[in-house]
Amino acid sequence: MFRHVPINQVEIWDPFFSARIAKARETAIPYMWDTLHDAVPGVAPSHCIENFRIAAGLAKGDFQGFCFQDSDLWKWLEGVGYALSVQSDEALEQQADSTIDLAAMAQQEDGYLDTYYIIKGLDQRFTNLKDIHELYVAGHMFEAACAYYQATGKRKVLDVACRFADCLCKHFGPGENQLHGYPGHEEVEMGLTRLYAVTGEKKYLDLALYFLNERGQKPYYYDKERLARGEKLHEKRENFWDDYGYYQADVPVREQTAARGHAVRQLYLLAGMAEAGTAAGDDILVEAAERVFRNVIDKQMYITGGVGSTHVGEAFSFDYDLPPDRCYTETCASIALIMTAIRLHRAHPHGLYGDIVEKALYNGILSGVSLDGMKYFYMNPLETWPERCERRNDIRIDDERKGWFGCACCPPNVLRTLMGLSMYLFTENDTHLYIDQYVSSHVRSGETELKIQSAFPYWGNKVTIHVERAGEKELALRIPGWAKKNYVLEINGEEVEHDPWNQYEYVNNLKDGDVITLTFPVMEVRKIRAHGHIPEYAGKVALMMGPVVYCLEEKDNGNELWNLSLTDGLVTPVLAQEELEGVMMLQAEGIRDCGGDSLYSEEEPKQEKQTLIFVPYYAWGNRGKGEMRVWIRRT
Amino acid sequence: MFRHVPINQVEIWDPFFSARIAKARETAIPYMWDTLHDAVPGVAPSHCIENFRIAAGLAKGDFQGFCFQDSDLWKWLEGVGYALSVQSDEALEQQADSTIDLAAMAQQEDGYLDTYYIIKGLDQRFTNLKDIHELYVAGHMFEAACAYYQATGKRKVLDVACRFADCLCKHFGPGENQLHGYPGHEEVEMGLTRLYAVTGEKKYLDLALYFLNERGQKPYYYDKERLARGEKLHEKRENFWDDYGYYQADVPVREQTAARGHAVRQLYLLAGMAEAGTAAGDDILVEAAERVFRNVIDKQMYITGGVGSTHVGEAFSFDYDLPPDRCYTETCASIALIMTAIRLHRAHPHGLYGDIVEKALYNGILSGVSLDGMKYFYMNPLETWPERCERRNDIRIDDERKGWFGCACCPPNVLRTLMGLSMYLFTENDTHLYIDQYVSSHVRSGETELKIQSAFPYWGNKVTIHVERAGEKELALRIPGWAKKNYVLEINGEEVEHDPWNQYEYVNNLKDGDVITLTFPVMEVRKIRAHGHIPEYAGKVALMMGPVVYCLEEKDNGNELWNLSLTDGLVTPVLAQEELEGVMMLQAEGIRDCGGDSLYSEEEPKQEKQTLIFVPYYAWGNRGKGEMRVWIRRT
C-alpha cells in the first residue's frame, strides 16, 4: 500500500516553495490565530474561539458565524501540526494546546463536539445533515487531531477526536436505532479514514464507508430528514441547492460518472472515496472516484488547475463550459483537486496525477495567495476587467486579494497545504520511493536517503538526486507530461535510455553516493490551445513554460488587453530583476489593435507592434488593481 | 412644431412591413385578447380582465398578476386604436368598447382607476410610487385612450382617462395638501403630454412637467414615502433596487448625463422629457434628454439597437460594457429607444434619429417576434449557446421564443409599435414633410400627397416618390448613415447635386406628377468593427447590409460557431428561396478550426474551408433551437 513519506522525514529547502512556507509559518499562522481570536483590527470578527468559549461555559453569548465556523480552527490546527512536524516552536505549541484544552472543555459527555449545536441546542443535532455541516466540521477535526498528534505525540486532541468519532459511530450506521444519513458537505470520510490509519480502529473506516455507500441511495435520506423536521418536500427543485446533485447525493457514488454540484464537495467526496476505498481494498470505489476525476481533468478543468465554472453554487457546470471571467475556481477547489489526485495516485501510481498536482500548485492554488503571503483570492479567474468586476452584478469575482473572508475557508486551506506540502512530493511503499514533484529537499524513506536539488519551475533545467544512503528502495522518477520525450536521465553521468512506465522512470540497485540527474526542457515556452468545444478560447492561445501558466497584466502591457494579439515569433524568458520577487517573465512580439472613436464603424483598426510581457499566473495581482488575462488572441 | 403625420393619413403597403402588420392585426390582436381573458390553453392565466371585472363589482376574488397587470389591456387597446385608424373592424371595435365599458365601471367616483389598489384597498394608493406602478399604468391608459379616441372619435375612454388624469392633478403637485412624488417607472409623462395634446388641457402638461422636475430632487421623495409607510431607510443600498439611480431618481433629470438603471424606465423618461419639453418649449429639458440619449447610442447600445447590458435589474450597466451573451436587450427597451429617438427628432430633426429607429426596427425589435408573429423573445442576445442557456444559472436568456410571458410587456408593446408604425415614418410641420423611413406607402400631409415605392431593406436599391399632389410642403428626405455619400438623388430623371443638411436632402417647389428617386447602396455588405473598449468584439466583425445586421445560425453553419472565422473575400447576398420567407442571406468564405480531443494541447487546430451563411438577425431562431452569433472572428 502506498502512502506519503511522513512529514518529519522530509526537509524542504526549495527556491520556489521554502520562502512561501516560511511566510505561511511566520505570518499566516499568527495572523490566523489572531483572526480566530477576533484580534485583527478592521477584519470582521470570526467569533470562532469565542464560540468554543461559550460552548465550554467560559463565556456567555450566542453562536456567531457560519454553522461550520469551528472548521477554521481545525484547519489552522492541522496546518500547525504540519508546521511542528518539521520545526518545533514551543510558543506555537502552547497556543495550539490551549485551543485543544478549550475544545476538550467544550466537548460533551457523549463525545459530541460542534459548538454550533452545543450553543444552539443539542436536541437539534443530526437533524439537518444536508445543510448544517457538523459532519464536515468533524472531518476537519479528525484531520487536525491526527496531524497534531503525529507532530507532537500528544494524545489529548486525538482522544477528543476519537470520543467524537465514537459518538458518530454510535449514532450513524445500519442499525435499527441508528441514523442512515450522510453529510451534506463531504470531508468526514477522509477524516475518519485517517483516524483509522492512526489509531487502527476499524470502526472508523467502516463508518467512512457507510457514509459513502449510503450517499445517493433511494429513498433519499435528505427527504427523510426534511420530513422528520416537519417540512414539506420540494414540489419543484427551483434552486440549485434543492437538487441533490449539488451534494453528489442524487445517485449512489459508485454509479456517478461526471462531476456535478459544489466543486469542493465533489472533490472531497472523490478524495474520500479514494482514501477509504484504498484502505478497504475496495477497487470499485476507487475506480468510481477515478472515473469522475477523469471527467474533471478532461472536460471541466481550467488550464490553471482551477475548477468550478460558476459562482452559482460555487459549482461545476457542464463539460467544456469554462468561461474565463465567470468562473468560481475557488482556491479551496484546486486544493481539493490535488487532495483527490494524490490519493488516486496512492491507489494506482501514475505520473498524470503528479501533473495535476503540479499544475494546480504552480498556478491555481498559489494564485490564491499574494506574494507577501498576507492576502487571498477566494476566486481565481482567468480574466479580469476591474470595471466589470465592480459594476456588473452578475460577475462575482474580486479584482484584488483580500485580507480575510467572512467565509474563511481558503486561507487556512492554503496554510495546511503549504505546511503539509511534502505529502504531495513523495510517495512510498515498502519497496518503492516515488519522487512525484521536483522540489529541493532531503527525504528519508525507510533506509533510503536522498538529497534532491531542483530549480523548478524555471530557474534551472537540471534536477540532481544525490543518493546519500541507498537503502533498499527502488526509485520512481516522475516525467512531467509537459516534458514529453525531451528529457535526459543520467546515472553517475551516464545517460540511460528512456523506459518510462506510467510517466515514471524507475531506478533500482541504488548505491550510496550515486548521482542521478534529470534534465528537462523547463525553459521551452509552449503555446497551448484549448479544446474546440470551449467558445471563449477559439483563436486564442495561452503560454506555458514547464508547469507554469502565464498571463498578461495591465501593469506591463497597458489596458484593454483584449486588443493585444500574439504574433508567430519567438517567446523569450526574461528574469525579472526586482519586481515580483524574481519571477521568470516572458517577452514576445505582439500587436495592438487601435480603433477609432465610433461605437461601430467600418474603419479597420490600426495595428501597432507592441512587446508583450507575460508574468506567471500565480504572481498576478501583486502590483495594484488592473486587467489580467491568460488567453490571448493569436494573429 | 413637428409632429407625426396622423396615422389615418398613411397607408402602408410595404414588402417588408405589411405582412408583419397584417399578422399582428390578424393573429396577435385576437391572441392577446384571448390571453387577457385567460382563454389560451397552456398559457398561464393573465387575470387582467378578471381584475377589471372584480374591480367593477362583476366578480369576486383577489387581484392577481403583477401590480401593473392593467397595462397589458391598455397596450392592447392602444394597438387596437392604431389598427382601427387604418382599417375599420366592427367586431374588434365592439371588443374594445366592451373593455372600455368595463374599465369605466371599475373607475372610482373620484376618477381613480387601477385595479390593483381598487381590489387591494384604496387607502394604500399613492403610498408606494417607487414600487407599485399605478402612475405607469395611468400613462399607458392615457396613451390608449388618445389612440382609441383618435381612431374612432368615441369619447368614452377619453373621458375615463381625463377623469383619472384629473384625479392625479388633484393629488400631485406643489400644493401643500398634494403629494410631491413621481413614478418609480416612468411612462405617465408621455401619457399626460399626449392627453394634453389631444384635449388642450394644460394642467396635464403641467403635471407631466411637475413629475419630471421633482424627480431626483433632495430630500428624496422615495425616502419620504418609505418613512411614511413606517419602514426604515436603507442603511446600505445592497440591492440594485435600493439605489435610486436604478429609477433615474438620484439626481434631478436636468443634471443627468449617462443612462443608468432599468433600461425601459430610463428611455421612457427620456421620451417623456423630449415630449413634454417640446410641448412646453423647455429646451433645457429636451437637451438633457438628448445628452443621455447620446450616451446610450454612443456607448451603451448593441449593434442591433438592443439596450440593457445586464439582466440584473434589466438594466444599463456602464459605458462599453456590451457582452453579447449576458445582455438583457429587452424587446421593450429597443421600442423605448425608438420612442425616444422619434420624439427627439420631432424636437430637433436630424437623420441620426432615423438611423436609430431604422436600426432598432430592422434588428432588435423585430427579432423579438417570430416570423409567424406568434412567438416572442423577451431578451434579444447577440450570441447564444443553448446548452449554456439551459445549464448555467447566471445566464438568463431564452434560446427559443415563447408564446407569452408572465410579465407580458413585450408582446403588446410590439403590437402597438407595428400598428402605429407610420408614426416612425413621417414627420411634419406646417411647412415641411420629413420622410424618415423608406417604407412603401401613401401619405398625405396637409395638401401634399405622395406615393412612395421602396423595396427596403434589401430587395431593391431605388426609392421612388411619386408626387400625387404637390401641395405646399417642402420635402425632406433622409439619407441613412450607412449610405454615406453613395446615393443618387434624381428629380424627374435629372440628377441633383448632393446638398444634405443633418442627413436630409430638401426638395421644394414640388409639382403634381413629379417623380423623385433615391438610389442607395442597399446591397453593399459592410464589415463592422466595434469600439476597442469592448472586450468581446476585439478581432471580430459583424456583417451589415443597409440597416440589417446579420448573424450565423447553427442550422446553416453547423455547431460551435465560435470556431468559424471570416476570410477577407467577397460577401455575396443570396436570396433565400423557401426558408425564412425570402430573406436576403449572405454567403462568404470562411474557415473552421478543427481541434483535437485534448482539453489543452500544443496541437495547431486543423483549418478547413467552409462557406458561411448569414441570415438577418431579426430572422434568427425561426428554425428550431441552435447556436447563433452576430460577431465573428476574422482571419
Active site residues of B: 314, 409
pLDDT of the residue at A481: 97
Of A297, A528, A602, the CB nearest to B602: A528
| Residues contacting residue B428 through CB under 8 Å, at least 6 positions apart | B2, B3, B4, B5, B434, B445, B446, B473
> Which of B599, B602, B604, B629 to mutate to test binding with chain A, by most A CBs within 10 Å of its CB?
B599
Of A312, A532, A565, the CB nearest to B595: A532
Whether the CB of A568 is below 8 Å from some CB of chain B: the reply is no
pLDDT at B235 over 80: no
Grid coordinates standing for A625? 488593481
d(CA A582, nearest CA chain B) in Å:
27
Chain A nearest-CA residue for B539 = A563
pLDDT of the residue at B559: 97
pLDDT at B518 over 80: yes
Whether the CB of A170 is below 8 Å from some CB of chain B: the reply is no
Whether the CB of A634 is below 8 Å from some CB of chain B: the reply is no
State the Cα torsion A464-A469-A471-A477 to the nearest 10°: -10
Give the residue-averaged pLDDT of B625-635: 95
Residues B613 and B628: their CA atoms lie apart, in Å, by: 12
Letter string b/e over residues B48-59, b meaning 16 or more CB atoms within 10 A of that residue's CB = bbbbbbbbbeee
Give the residue-averaged pLDDT of B492-508: 97
The answer to whether the Cβ–Cβ distance between B532 and A317 falls below 8 Å is: no
d(CA A321, nearest CA chain B) in Å:
8
For CA atoms B589, B595, B599, B604, the dihedral sign is negative
Strands A628-629 vs B383-384: parallel, antiparallel or unpaired: unpaired
Residues B370 and B149: their CA atoms lie apart, in Å, by: 31
The answer to whether the Cβ–Cβ distance between B528 and A385 falls below 8 Å is: no
State the Cα torsion B435-B440-B441-B446 to the nearest 10°: 20
Instruction: Answer yes or no: is the ipTM higher than 0.90.
Output: yes
Residues B446 and B429: their CA atoms lie apart, in Å, by: 9
Residues B22 and B374: their CA atoms lie apart, in Å, by: 12
User: Tell me, what DSSP letter sits at residue B245?
Assistant: G
A141 close to A161: Cβ distance less than 8 angstroms: yes
Radius of gyration of chain B (CA): 25
Quickly count: other Cβ atoms within 10 Å of residue B185's Cβ: 24
pLDDT of the residue at A333: 97
Residues B97 and A287: their CA atoms lie apart, in Å, by: 72
A129 close to A186: Cβ distance less than 8 angstroms: no
Residues B307 and B317: their CA atoms lie apart, in Å, by: 10
Residues A69 and B266: their CA atoms lie apart, in Å, by: 44
| Residues contacting residue B501 through CB under 8 Å, at least 6 positions apart | none
> Which of A320, A397, A529, A566 to mutate to test binding with chain B, by most B CBs within 10 Å of its CB?
A529
pLDDT of the residue at B406: 59
Q: Which residues of B touch A525 (CB under 8 A)?
A: none
Lowest-confidence pick of A49-63, B60-74, B368-382: B368-382
The torsion angles phi and psi of B634, rounded to 5 degrees, stand at -110, 150
Q: What DSSP element (H or E) covers B70?
A: helix B70-86
For B614, half-sphere exposure in the C-beta direction (CA atoms, 13 angstrom radius) is: 29
The answer to whether the Cβ–Cβ distance between B633 and A539 falls below 8 Å is: yes
Grid coordinates standing for A374? 498576507
User: In percent, how much of chain B has pLDDT > 90?
Assistant: 88
pLDDT of the residue at B409: 66
Q: Is the pTM of this model over 0.90?
A: yes
Q: What's the burial of B202, exposed, middle or buried (CB within 10 Å: 0-12/13-18/19+)? A: exposed
For CA atoms A376, A381, A385, A387, the dihedral sign is negative
Whether the CB of A527 is below 8 Å from some CB of chain B: the reply is yes
Q: Walk along chain A (635 residues) in steps of 10 and give the mean pLDDT of each run.
A: 95 94 90 90 88 97 95 95 95 97 98 97 96 96 98 97 98 96 98 98 98 97 95 81 93 97 98 98 98 98 97 94 95 97 98 98 95 88 93 84 69 89 97 98 97 95 97 97 97 97 97 98 95 96 98 97 95 87 93 92 94 97 95 94
| Residues contacting residue B153 through CB under 8 Å, at least 6 positions apart | none
| Residues contacting residue B295 through CB under 8 Å, at least 6 positions apart | B257, B258, B259, B319
Chain B nearest-CA residue for A599 = B531
pLDDT at B238 over 80: no
The answer to whether the Cβ–Cβ distance between B310 and A392 falls below 8 Å is: yes
Q: Which residues of A touch B301 (CB under 8 A)?
A: 599
Residues B496 and A384: their CA atoms lie apart, in Å, by: 54
B17 close to B420: Cβ distance less than 8 angstroms: no
Whether the CB of B599 is below 8 Å from some CB of chain A: the reply is yes
State the Cα torsion B512-B518-B519-B524 to the nearest 10°: -150
Of A394, A527, A593, the CB nearest to B310: A394
Q: What's the burial of A42, exposed, middle or buried (CB within 10 Å: 0-12/13-18/19+)? A: exposed
Chain B nearest-CA residue for A629 = B535
Q: Looking at the domain that runs over A3-7+16-232+240-424, which CATH code has it been given?
A: 1.50.10.10
Grid coordinates standing for A289? 472516484
Residue count of chain B, please give it.
Answer: 635
Chain B nearest-CA residue for A308 = B392
Phi/psi zone of residue B491: left (φ > 0), alpha (ψ -120 to 50 degrees), beta?
A: beta
Of A48, A146, A332, A409, the catalytic one is A409
DSSP labels for B282-306? -HHHHHHHHHHHHHHHHHSB-TTS-
Whether the CB of A240 is below 8 Å from some CB of chain B: the reply is yes
pLDDT of the residue at B210: 98
pLDDT of the residue at A133: 93
Q: Which residues of A touch B299 (CB under 8 A)?
A: 599
pLDDT of the residue at A408: 65
Of A392, A529, A562, the CB nearest to B603: A529
For CA atoms A492, A495, A496, A499, the dihedral sign is positive
Whether the CB of A321 is below 8 Å from some CB of chain B: the reply is yes
| 3-state SS, residue B81 | helix
Quickly count: other Cβ atoms within 10 Å of residue B622's Cβ: 18
Of A297, A535, A562, the CB nearest to B385: A535
Phi/psi zone of residue A285: left (φ > 0), alpha (ψ -120 to 50 degrees), beta?
A: alpha
**Helix (H), strand (E), coil (C) string for A556-616:** HHCCCHHHEEEEEEEEEEEECCCHHHCCEEEEEEEEEEECCCCCEECCCCEEEEEEEEEEE
Whether the CB of B528 is below 8 Å from some CB of chain A: the reply is yes
Of B391, B532, B542, the CB nearest to A318: B391
> Which of B319, B325, B394 to mutate to test binding with chain A, by most A CBs within 10 Å of its CB?
B394
Q: Which residues of B touch A298 (CB under 8 A)?
A: 599
CATH class of this structure's domain A428-519? mainly beta
pLDDT of the residue at A474: 97
| 3-state SS, residue B454 | coil
Q: What DSSP element (H or E) covers B114?
A: none
Tell me the domain boundaries of chain B: 3-7+16-232+240-424, 428-519, 525-634
pLDDT of the residue at B618: 96
Closest CA to A407 of A73, A69, A131, A48: A69
**pLDDT tens for each residue of B148-184:** 999 999 999 999 999 999 999 999 999 999 999 999 9
d(CA A216, nearest CA chain B) in Å:
22
pLDDT of the residue at A535: 96
Chain A nearest-CA residue for B239 = A393
CATH topology match: A3-7+16-232+240-424 vs A428-519 = no
The residue whose grid cell reads 544512503 is A469
Closest CA to A374 of A103, A34, A7, A1: A34
B126 close to B134: Cβ distance less than 8 angstroms: yes
Residues A321 and B388: their CA atoms lie apart, in Å, by: 8
A219 preceded by cis ω (within 30°)? yes
Whether the CB of A486 is below 8 Å from some CB of chain B: the reply is no
Q: Which residues of B touch A484 (CB under 8 A)?
A: none
Residues A496 and A503: their CA atoms lie apart, in Å, by: 15
Q: Which residues of B touch A311 (CB under 8 A)?
A: 394
pLDDT at B276 over 80: yes
The answer to whether the Cβ–Cβ distance between B600 and A385 falls below 8 Å is: no
pLDDT at B237 over 80: no
Instruction: Determine whether A314 is an active site residue.
Output: yes
Of B312, B317, B530, the CB nearest to A599: B530
Amino acid identity of B141?
A: M
Q: How far is CA B483 from CA B286, B440, B475, in A?
A: 28, 19, 19
